[in-house]
Amino acid sequence: MRRFVSMAALAAALAANPALAEDRTPQAFVAQAEAAYAKTSVEANQAEWVYETFITRDTEALTARAGAKMTELTVANAVAAASYAMVPGLDYDTGRKLNRMRTMIVLPAPVRSGAAEEVATIQARLQGIYGKGQGTLNGQAINGSDIEAAMGTNRNPAELKEMWTSWHDNVGKPMREDYTKLVALSNEGARELGYADVGALWRSNYDMTPEQFAALTERLWQEVKPLYDQLHCYTRGKLNERYGDAVQAGTGPIRADLLGNMWAQEWGNIYDIVAPPGAGDLGFDTTRLLADKGYDPLRMVRTAEGFFSSLGFASLPRTFWERSQFVKPRDREVVCHASAWNIDNLDDLRVKTCLKVNADDFVTIHHELGHNYYQRAYNKQPAFYQDGANDGFHEAIGDTVALSMTPGYLVRIGLLDRAPGAGKDIGLLLRQAMDKVAFLPFGLLIDRWRWQVFSGQVQPADYEKAWNDMRLQYQGVVPPSERPAGAFDPGAKYHIPAVVPYTRYFLARVLQFQFYEAACKIARWKGPLHRCNFTGSKEVGERLDAMMAMGASKPWPDALEVFTGSREISGKPMIRYFAPLTRWLEQQNRGRQCGW
């Protein structure tokens, strides 16, 4: 499709790249743009790292300034790339890099003077609101990280409601006006790049048209939805048994704050409520094992590194241990949301976490190191190829590792003396499903809500209503009480103010089972798929590294084929993994009115 690029936008792009006045061939433009991008991205990474690990008014201004510079460069490059992409006879790399320059922008700003600064300032302010956000418990202030932990263990409906409501009110609502401005500004920028809106731009980043990508995600959702429906039905029944009709009815949607997570995105924390009678004891408690073995956050990270070392990957650099944030500092505000960084796009790998010694964070650090090893694998690629095959790949690598954290893995690292017998399998699978399967509709709906916001299908006055309608439609969950029209509950989820596309997590939930099944075949695993542990397989490491080293240099089906032998993302490996649980859930749900 021919994309219209305004002369003003193209002039701004050329002004930002004066060397093009001498040589304006597509190849020269790409070379110069890539060099500038590599340099400026490091500066932006450094500023953002300082801000997220030390939130002050000054660091907010610094990261906004660096973000504006990065936005100006990427937008200028993108609008020029849209013009150069029309040149006939482009070689493969020039054509692919021109396309990536247009689609790799997450938050485009208009090219007019001051717009990039305005976008960056708003985004920094939104992240600051989130990072400094607090709710209450029994009327006392409590930060987001502590609310997240408390909602995993608290079983008092009134206190759960208070934490959920106060967090959403205090964090989400103040963002509403700024977020509305951000949507308008970024849509203006997307149109200058030739896209209908920001949502269409995001969906164009998957080596297919926006329409094809929307269809792909719908196909995958339909493949896995029957499993989610059975899990929802069973979980609702157990919550009704625990709390009674006055708190949780036996039919209809589930009250969001009862699911053990402040966003109801994963439900594993309420496994004690849903555990199978007589078979619910998994035979171990990872949180307790970590405590009994004297683990601290640093040892958790060392253990996660050991997993990758067992596959043949080199150890993390010394600077990783010197420069990472592993725990929440006591003397300052930080963004606690876990993330993995490569500051210099070479070997300055870091994680930013607020680890606690528990099972969830043990999985989290394995996941984040998956990002780091992926970042290092493609660090020899040109700057525009230093990314995952698609963003779902990046998330799926760490999640695949987490799937391999079976009882067999815990035995291997000395946390567990012996793996439980087959009689514990349903409990183990249900515990996995409470996180992996429960997440699927949440992973899908966040961007589907944003797609409608960006397209104008949902107007600002209806932000809150559309959000709750979509959560009901996909997840079958509702807020603990009626939400006012002026609320902005989407902002209470980090990825909304941070403007991080979210469909990647849905793709990752599906891809990880495809990667896992492939890894188990490569490791020549014999036995039930859900018990496979490929730790120590150098062959898996070699194949995984071959896929990761490609970065974004080839269309994602090429990368998928290198590791799995298939060019198509499929939800069928997930269905095969949970097949024993599916049969069990269907038996448990007989006589229940499923759906909502």
Ranges in the chain, pLDDT < 50: 1-10, 19-21
Write down the catalytic residue from 463, 505, 516, 577.
505
pLDDT of residue 230: 98
Write down the catalytic residue from 72, 395, 464, 517.
395
Write down the catalytic residue from 11, 338, 549, 579.
338
Write down the catalytic residue from 168, 337, 394, 530.
337
Write down the catalytic residue from 168, 371, 394, 530.
371
Write down the catalytic residue from 66, 495, 530, 559.
495
Q: Is 337 noted as a catalytic residue in this protein?
A: yes
Q: Is 168 noted as a catalytic residue in this protein?
A: no
Write down the catalytic residue from 168, 232, 366, 367.
367
Q: Is 338 noted as a catalytic residue in this protein?
A: yes
Burial status of residue 549 (CB atoms within 10 A of its CB: 0-12, 13-18, 19 or more): middle
Tokens of 483: 């939400």
Please name the amino acid found at residue 292.
D
Closest CA to 108 of 212, 240, 5: 5
Q: How far apart are CA 169 and CA 483, in angstroms?
A: 10
Phi/psi-derived region of residue 557, left when phi > 0, alpha when psi is between -120 and 50, beta in every other case = alpha
pLDDT of residue 236: 98
Q: How far apart are CA 328 and CA 142, in angstroms?
A: 14
Write down the catalytic residue from 368, 385, 396, 492.
368
SS (H, E, C) 251-297: CCCEEHHHCCCCCCCCCHHHHHHHCCCCCCCCCCCHHHHHHHCCCCH
Model's pTM, two decimal places?
A: 0.87
Q: Is 505 noted as a catalytic residue in this protein?
A: yes
Residue 229 CB neighbours (<10 A): 17
pLDDT of residue 282: 78
